[in-house]
Each structure stands twice: as structure tokens, then as C-alpha cells.
Structure 1
């Protein structure tokens, strides 16, 4: 589904990524781990098109998308969440989620502005799909009319996941989806991620510091340190890799 090939990214004299290469298999969850400043979010920004790499390529379904802008990549089936919640705080839960499906709408600008004909039909169909598939799936029907500002942090994270799923993505990139959550919220989010993979067949790329979550749900783990890739493989192999232990995991007590 996704191939990252020899990606380099620099900001002036700072080398954020240095020769990162890995594959994410279709329908699997691939984790990206590493200490703060390792380049994980920079890598996400390269994959999703927010940053242009100095060198290397991003292949999506076998095609080079390195030159495409973020909206074009979204149209091809790539969606993401953000490390810091990026919801529209003046809007309701439902309106935030509906924004995610707009990449799949085809009505022209005039019918959309006037809200008639094909635009109205598409909007109603999208709302029905969101309510039946995404909102029910993520168990947030009881808050769909609530303003974002009235929600707890954990529920806001769930709404952000809902908006990303509303795009019907082939590749879903989750940037620290359980950061700041308590144990119960983390367990719920892990369940939703696994269910999304199983129900929709979504390929998932996951950046996360919670090692229990990563080792439990990921089929493959890629490890970055100071912008360099120091390991990749199945979770058990990575957890026992001495370079990873020294750089990030540390020795068990």
C-alpha cells in the first residue's frame, strides 16, 4: 500500500530525516516509534504532502505521489489525524465529521453554493453514511449535536478519528492517537483502531509513544532516532533489538 523510499528532509542545517525506507503492507497496522525529536511527525508530514522531501520518494499503491499536494493525496485515499487536536471548535461533532467526506463529493461549485440538486443529494447521502457507519461505529451518537468545546479530550480524539474515517481512506495515518488519555480511554481507542482495520480493511500507519499499544496491535514496527531509521520488523524482534533498547526502550527493570 505504501512505500517510503530513501527519504531525506532538512530544515536548514537540521537533518530531520536521513534515508528512511520502509513498506506498509495493505490491511496491516504499521507502527512508527522513537524518542521525541526522532522525526516521526516530520515523516508523517512528508507522507501526507505537507513537507516536500529533499530526496527520496513516496509510493502509494505503486505510484509515486511525491509531487502531489495534500488535497490530491487525500483524493487518492490518504487521511490522517494530528498530534495536536485539529478540530473546528466553533462547529458541532457532526459538522466536523462531515468535513472529512467532502473529498469524495463531486457536485460542482454552483450547486454546492446554492445547495440544490446533486449537491443536496450527495450531502444527504454522506450524512446518512456518516451516521450509520462512522458515528455508530465509534459510539458517539449521543454527542453528535454537541459543540466540540463541550467534549472531553478523549472524546475530541475520537471525533478526529471519525473525521478521518469519513474520508473512507485506504491509508489512515494516526499521529499519537492515545496521547494524554487514561487507561480506559486508551483501551477504547485501541479497540476502535483494530475494529476499523477489520471492518473497513484500512491500512494504518501509527505514531505512538505507548509501547504496550504498539506492541499489541502492530504487525510491523519502524524505529527512528535523530532522523535515522535504526530498526524495522515484527514487534518481538524490535523489542529485543539492542539499538532500539539503547536509543529508546531502555532495559527492563
Structure 2
């Protein structure tokens, strides 16, 4: 996409930020969910976090998002330490997220759901918005115009923008959730199982959109996903967790051949595991 925002900036002008997790410990009572987890997602790259069920992937995402506070360690967005920054503050710094279980507002249309992602960017105060003052009205119209040009066209969902999200297929609902995250103008985008439950065609479409977000907009993407074919195809870096610890990190090719990953992640014989990852 080459469309511009109301301020005259292309999405790629904002650029992605690096994201670093440093020695993060997370405990729930006596359970250590994360054990000194450290890894980095390079600015403008796609990094995947994989691992078996219960490995700690969702705990990492919830810590980065601000839903969980680590017992120790820190999370850096660019050069900013956001460990103690509340969820809404992280959104203002350029961090956006989708969820494994679709979190759309089912009483609203596609366009209304997407617009909610951009409302934290509006400068009009609560009273102006309630009274629908001229300044608030202009901001609302500008936000809608930007979303229609920059997000809806980009994700090829113009034909459904006025439909209620309840009436959409599962795959389209996942695309709308991605659209809402993109409306936040993210510099780092967290995708939690973006193709879970999708058929092959829907998976290929979503993979293409993720690549376009990274390549055309320069956004840093961190994703958790069980579809190993998709992960290996689009990621530049892969981090593997098991029992709350990082057991491997590197390029898809390196991780694919890592013996500990083959044993711990798939729990299969080496030859069978290599075939499954490939």
C-alpha cells in the first residue's frame, strides 16, 4: 500500500521498533511460568515464538502486552523500558495485539470494530466526543477516511465493511481483528495464533497480509503460531520455548534441525520430527 495518513505519512514512514525480553521471570504462586526468558525481535522483521502446549508462549505475550507483570526482568520497546507501563500506555507507544480467541464486538459492524482500534489516537476530549463537537466530528471523519484507505483496502475487506461481524466467516473475523490492530498504527504487532482454525486458502491469505505488513509498512511482527509450515515460510527468526525456557533461537533452517527442538517440541523420533517441521 502507498496510501497516506491524514498527516501525509505513509505507514512505512513510521517504521518498526525492536522488542526485547530480558531475563523475564513469571510466577503464579509456586509455579514458574517463565524462567529467565530472553530474546529479541528485530525492528521491521518477523519473529515467531513456538513450542508445545504449556511451553509459556501465551505467558510471554501477556507479559509483553502488560496483562502480566513479571517477578523480575524487563521488556524493552525500542530503547524504552515498558515493564511497568500499563496496557493502554503500551498502545500509545506503538504496541498492538490480536488474540487467539477472537475478541470482536459482535453488536457492531466491521467498520465500527476497526475504528475502535484507532480511537486512542484521537485528541478530542471525552466531553467534546459526547457533545460531538465540530473538532471531534472532524477527527472522527479523518479517522474513518484513513482506515478506509489504509487498512480496509489493504486487507481487501471493502465488500464487508458495513456487515455485522456476527455474519462473517471465522477467517474473515480473524482478518477484521488484524484490521483493528493495524488501525492503531502499530510499530510492533503481536499476533496470537493468527491462522488457527483456518483452511488452507485462508491461511495463505493471512500469511500474505502479514508479509505485506512487514515488507510494505516496516512493522515489527512477533507471532505465536502452531502452523509450522507458515512459521517457517514467513519468519526471519524463530524462538522455541519449552517449560518456560528458551531452548533454541535462530533462523528457521537452524531451528528446524536443532535436536533439542525435535525432541522437546514434537516429542517424536528425530526423522519423523524433521519431516513434521519441514
TM-score tier after normalising by the smaller chain length: over 0.9
Partner Cα distance (2:26, 2:158) in 1? 42
CA deviation vs aligned residue, 1:145-175 (integer Å, no higher than 9, x gap): 1111101100000000000000010000000
CA deviation vs aligned residue, 1:53-110 (integer Å, no higher than 9, x gap): 0110001111111010000000000000001000001111000000000121111111
Partner of 2:232: 215
- Secondary structure at the counterpart of residue 37 of structure 1: coil
How far the C-alpha of 1:41 sits from its partner, in A, is 0.8
Which residue of 228, 231, 244 maps to 1:227? 244
Partner of 2:207: 190
Which residue of 52, 58, 63 maps to 1:46? 63
Answer yes or no: is 1:125 the counterpart of 2:126.
no
How far the C-alpha of 1:226 sits from its partner, in A, is 1.0
* Stretches of structure 2 lacking an aligned partner (at least 5 in a row): 1-17, 273-278
Which residue of 127, 133, 145 maps to 1:110? 127
Give the TM-score normalised by structure 2. Answer: 0.90
How far the C-alpha of 1:203 sits from its partner, in A, is 0.3
Answer yes or no: is 1:166 the counterpart of 2:198.
no
Give the TM-score normalised by structure 1. Answer: 0.98
- Secondary structure at the counterpart of residue 156 of structure 1: helix
Moved over 4 A (4+): none
- Secondary structure at the counterpart of residue 137 of structure 1: coil
- Secondary structure at the counterpart of residue 153 of structure 2: helix
How far the C-alpha of 1:119 sits from its partner, in A, is 1.1
Partner of 2:25: 8
Partner of 1:140: 157
Number of aligned positions between the proteins? 253
